[in-house]
């Protein structure tokens, strides 16, 4: 099975965690797109979704799935999202699709995080995938210097020759060369730096379940 087929497999498998009659939290990315497509097949059984990005909102609405403002929903039973990396404790690196801030917000309002990923995303130590960090532009140089002191090499994410602008009007820096051996401590520390909007380590908002697409089928990891 190729990577795209593995994503389809886990996107469909995630339907088992959607609670009938409720609103589901929906992440962002190519794996989540497969989930959204599958969700359309049971759209009459749910109230709708809280979305973590403009891109997912567009896809959900195009398929006839109502999208609710996160402020209008007190708690979600489940949030379904992909990851760039996940370790054996359910800690993740996210933000490859630049949606990390809203993803962390929806994850925080959800009782359970179900991560859907193909097996290439499972790692022992986070940090091989360049770490995305959403920042206030006027702080980017200072934040990049702080990462350099930790041994990381940071650069501003570009799109069409200019810094990428997130759904929140901010920028993303991607940091290579980090070895994140204590994700909880790392997330706590970097989140406190002035100008950091969101660090792409999801350790406080970790996954409880990971549906991992493998050549032998979907493996369920519980954390
Ligand atoms: C977007 C994300 C995605 O979940 C992550 O990048 C994985 O994406 P994909 O399913 O396309 O591999 O964090 O901000």
Give me ligand 1 centre to Cα 45, in Å: 26
pLDDT at 179: 97
pLDDT at 132: 98
Alpha-carbon distance of 78 to 66, in angstroms, equals 16
Give me ligand 1 centre to Cα 29, in Å: 4
- The reply to whether ligand 1 has any atom less than 6 angstroms from the CB of 30 is yes
What does the pLDDT look like over 203-221, one tens digit per residue? 999 999 999 999 999 999 9
Residues of the chain with pLDDT under 70: none
Which of 32, 130, 166 is the pocket-test mutation for ligand 1 (most atoms within 8 Å of CB)? 32
pLDDT at 1: 86
Give me ligand 1 centre to Cα 196, in Å: 20
Hey, whose CA ends up nearest to atom 4 of ligand 1?
82
End-to-end CA, the chain? 26
Q: With beta carbons less than 8 A apart as the criterion, state whether 51 and 58 touch.
A: no
- The reply to whether ligand 1 has any atom less than 6 angstroms from the CB of 55 is no
Give me ligand 1 centre to Cα 32, in Å: 8
For the domain bounded by 3-123+204-222, which CATH number is listed? Answer: 3.40.50.1360
What kind of architecture, by CATH, is found in domain 131-198? Answer: 2-Layer Sandwich (3.30)
Bridge partner residues of 30 (DSSP): none
* 187 Cβ neighbours under 8 A, 6+ residues apart: 199, 201, 202, 203, 204
pLDDT at 33: 98
Residues tagged active-site: 103
Say what the pTM is: 0.97
- The reply to whether ligand 1 has any atom less than 6 angstroms from the CB of 175 is no
Alpha-carbon distance of 9 to 58, in angstroms, equals 22
pLDDT at 48: 98
- The reply to whether ligand 1 has any atom less than 6 angstroms from the CB of 134 is no
What is the position in ligand 1's atom list of the atom closest to the CA of 200?
13
CA distances (Å), 192 to each of 21, 143, 151, 154, in order? 38, 11, 19, 18
Alpha-carbon distance of 52 to 72, in angstroms, equals 14
- Residue ranges of domains in the chain: 3-123+204-222, 131-198
pLDDT at 170: 98
Domains 3-123+204-222 and 131-198 share a fold: no
């Amino acid at each position: 099975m190729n990577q795209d087929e593995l994503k389809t497999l886990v996107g469909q498998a995630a339907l088992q965690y959607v609670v009938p009659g409720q609103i589901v939290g929906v992440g962002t990315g190519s794996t989540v797109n497969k989930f959204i497509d599958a969700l359309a097949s049971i759209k009459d059984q749910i109230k709708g979704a809280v979305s973590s990005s403009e891109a997912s909102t567009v896809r959900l609405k195009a398929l006839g799935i109502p999208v609710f403002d996160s402020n209008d929903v007190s708690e979600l039973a489940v949030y379904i999202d992909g990851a760039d990396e996940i370790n054996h404790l359910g800690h993740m690196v996210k933000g490859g699709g630049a949606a990390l801030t809203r993803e962390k917000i929806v994850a925080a309002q959800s009782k359970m995080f179900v991560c859907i990923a193909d097996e290439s995303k499972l790692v022992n130590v986070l940090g091989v995938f360049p770490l995305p960090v959403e920042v206030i532009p006027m702080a980017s140089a200072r934040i990049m210097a702080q990462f350099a002191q930790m041994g990381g090499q940071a650069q501003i994410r570009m799109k069409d020759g200019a810094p990428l602008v997130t759904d929140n009007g901010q920028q993303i820096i991607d940091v290579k060369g980090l070895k994140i051996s204590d994700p909880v401590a790392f997330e706590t520390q970097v989140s406190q730096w002035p100008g950091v909007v969101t660090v792409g380590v999801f350790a406080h908002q970790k996954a409880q379940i990971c549906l991992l697409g493998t050549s032998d089928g979907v493996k369920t990891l519980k954390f």
